[in-house]
Amino acid sequence: MISEKIKNIFINEADIPSEFEIDPKTYDHYLVDGKIKKFKGKFHKAYSPVMVYDKNGKLEQKYIGEYPLMNEDEALSVLNAAVKAYDKGCGVWPTMSVEERIECVLKFVDEMKKRKPEIVKLIMWEIAKSYSDSEKEFDRTVAYINGTVEALKELDRKSSRFITSDVYALAKRSPLGVVLCMGPYNYPLNETFTTLIPALIMGNTIVFKPPKFGVILHSPLLEAFKDSFPPGVVNTVYGRGDEVITPIMKSGLVDVLAFIGSSRVSDILKKEHPKPHRMKSVLGLDAKNAAIILDDADIDLAVNECIDGALSFNGQRCTAIKMIFVHQNFQNVFIEKFVREIEKLKFGMPWEKDVKITPLPDLSRIKYLKGLIDDALSKGARVINDCGGTDNGTFLYPAVLYPVKNNMRIYSEEQFGPVIPFTYFNDIKEPLDYVINSNYGQQVSIFSKDPVQISRLTDVLVNQVSRVNLNSQCQRGPDDLPFTGRKDSAEQTLSISDSLRVFSIRTLFAFKATDYNKEIVKEILKKRSSKFISTDFIM
């Protein structure tokens, strides 16, 4: 019985399988100016989304450790270390050759791999991502770093040839300065590193703030950062955004804001910079991706993709399917199958094999999602799956809402959780209007087998979103594909190779093609006296 299982979803602390036990620690170190410093100020107590019964039978979120809550002065000292290391572009790191920087990154990734078991376990505990998905997140990050190295080699090889005409030019890429990197809690390692690593390898220096849920898992990497990069190239800051990030932004010393989170927060951060025109922003923001099931779709395929799309990691993905439009001809059969498949999904603790639905970060998330459900119910929708929306502590069983109308909050708000709104349509104009008038513009999924319908729809949708998926859920990967969004969904394009461009600027060394100049440049190349004026082929 689903309801019984929800009631008993949490276990006694003593019954946590021994290989997944966690020993709460004080994580009292941070990395600044090449040193791992002991923090002496206030600490934040971190609790897992997972609740457990203590010895006295009290149900509480499992305490997993504490981490520093820095103040303004400490935050600014971290920023200053990055500013000093960049040294207005004259520092060791920004002037290092591409090959030398690649070596540092490869050393880092080797060190990182040695810490996999510890990091994976911490991802699982900090955000309740299933153990197998936590492992996947780690492996995907390692693959991303290795891919970045290969992409940079390729970029450098292509740009290490003189462009010849009346003017000879070597067009390469140079760093931008100090980058503030802030990742999201749903991919605390992977998405943070999808900006941090390309920013780093292009010669920028970094101030890195982990997300609120997902701080501790970065601790095992401090030593690896320290040992792999020159002092001040990577620095960590922890604490409340308004206490540590506001002064950093207000200093005007951040050259690039790399932020993955909400558009509301990104707007605040950008406005805090005294010279916003001077700061580049690389942003991955909100999304409300729709699935549109046409009247000729393969229903089983569409159901499976929509389940994965809406509920992987409890729907906590920016790319999740967050609104489903089903053609009226299919509404009953689709919904019936969808609900049946949801009932098969295993829910429970993140260490359980094949578990799909796990607890959410904290009680405020449950309150927010229940608020969305109640709002929809009060305006005429129904929860159509057994136990849908039943909660127990930090756990919320997926709720399928139907029919959803445009006056309900769930129609336009990004739920970022296991609440799935459905509606049906007669006329394709209805889902199209939804996408066209949405504040978001990340992706869409269409399900059909009719080449004519697919073509017509795609030709309109590509001007609304940044990826149209055919007969599959929305997703970011594979990571060598461009990932971006329109409207409130993103700024700049990320992919393994695009990111290298985003965190650098084209810079030329050029000279009139006179014999006089050619002789000088020949000598520079022969003596290898410049790192930039070099035509070396990186192996």
Q: Is 478 in the site for ligand G3H (CB under 6 A)?
A: no
Beta bridge partners of 509: 170
d(CA 270, CA 258): 11
DSSP one-letter string for 294-358: -TT--HHHHHHHHHHHHHGGGG-STTSEEEEEEEGGGHHHHHHHHHHHHHHS-BS-TTSTT--B-
Q: How far is the CB of 485 from ligand G3H (least distance, A)?
A: 10
Q: Which is nearer to ligand G3H, 177 or 198 (CB)?
A: 198
Stretch of 123-131, 162-170, 352-360, 475-483 lying at the interface with ligand G3H (CB under 6 A): 475-483
Distance in Å, CB of 6 to ligand G3H, minimum: 26
Query: How close are the terminal C-alpha atoms of the chain, in Å?
Result: 60
> Is residue 117 at the binding interface for ligand G3H, with CB under 6 A as the rule?
no
Distance CA 98, CA 148 (A): 12
Give the nearest distance from C-beta 165 to ligand G3H in angstroms: 42
Number of H helices, E strands in the chain: 17, 25
Strand 167-175 and strand 178-182: the pairing is unpaired
Stretch that binds ligand G3H, among 48-56, 289-297, 474-482, 530-538 (CB under 6 A): 474-482
Residue of 356, 347, 25 lying closest to 217 (CA atoms): 25
Question: Which residues fall within 8 angstroms of residue 264, CB to CB, at 6 or more apart?
Answer: none
Q: Does 319 bind ligand G3H (CB under 6 A)?
A: yes
Smaller CB distance to ligand G3H: residue 314 or 392? 314
DSSP states along 208-240 = EE--SSSSGGGGGGHHHHHHHS-TTSEEE--S-
Please answer whether residues 517 and 511 qualify as being in contact, where contact means their C-beta atoms are separated by less than 8 angstroms: yes
| Interface with ligand G3H (CB under 6 A), residue from 30, 47, 187, 447 | 187
186 binds ligand G3H (CB under 6 A): yes
Residue among 95 and 132 whose Cβ is closer to ligand G3H? 132
Q: How far is the CB of 178 from ligand G3H (least distance, A)?
A: 24
- For residues 51 and 11, the answer to whether their CB atoms sit within 8 Å is no
Task: Please identify which residue in 476, 488, 495, 502 interacts with ligand G3H, judged by CB under 6 A.
Answer: 476
CB of 262 to ligand G3H, least distance (A): 12
- Does 395 bind ligand G3H (CB under 6 A)? Our answer is no
Contact letters (x/-) for ligand G3H, 188-207, by CB under 6 A? ---x----------------
CA distance 197 to 204: 10
Q: Where are the beta strands (DSSP E) in 328-463?
A: 382-383, 391-392, 395-396, 399-402, 419-425, 440-441, 443-447
CB of 140 to ligand G3H, least distance (A): 8
Measured distance CA(370)–CA(376) in Å, rounded: 10
Contacting residue, 288, 317, 327, 337, with ligand G3H by CB under 6 A:
317
Site string for ligand G3H, 431-450 (x = CB under 6 A): --------------------
Name which of 134 and 475 has its Cβ closer to ligand G3H: 475
Residue choice 227, 240, 477, 510 for contact with ligand G3H (CB under 6 A): 477
DSSP-derived 3-state class of residue 182:
strand
Binding residues for ligand G3H, total number by CB under 6 A: 9
In 3D space, the residue among 287, 369, 292, 300 whose CA is nearest the CA of residue 328 turns out to be: 292
Distance CA 130, CA 136 (A): 10
CB of 212 to ligand G3H, least distance (A): 15
Minimum CB separation of residue 21 from ligand G3H in Å reads: 28
Closest C-alpha to 194, from 275, 121, 134, 137: 137
Of the ranges 47-55, 145-153, 160-168, 312-320, which one interacts with ligand G3H (CB under 6 A)?
A: 312-320
- In the bound state with ligand G3H, the residue whose beta carbon lies nearer, of 225 and 259, is 259
DSSP secondary structure string for all residues of 230-267: -TTSEEE--S-IIIIIHHHHHTT--SEEEEES-HHHHH
Q: Which stretch binds ligand G3H (CB under 6 A): 11-19, 185-193, 200-208, 520-528?
A: 185-193
- How many angstroms from the chain centroid is the CA of residue 103? 25
Residue 272 contacts by C-beta under 8 Å, 6 or more apart in sequence?
246, 249, 250
Of 161-169, 222-230, 460-468, 471-479, which part binds ligand G3H (CB under 6 A)?
A: 471-479
Segment contacting ligand G3H (CB under 6 A): 81-89, 183-191, 249-257, 266-274?
183-191
Nearer to ligand G3H, 172 or 365 (CB): 365
Binding residues vs ligand G3H (CB under 6 A): 186-187, 191, 317-319, 475-477
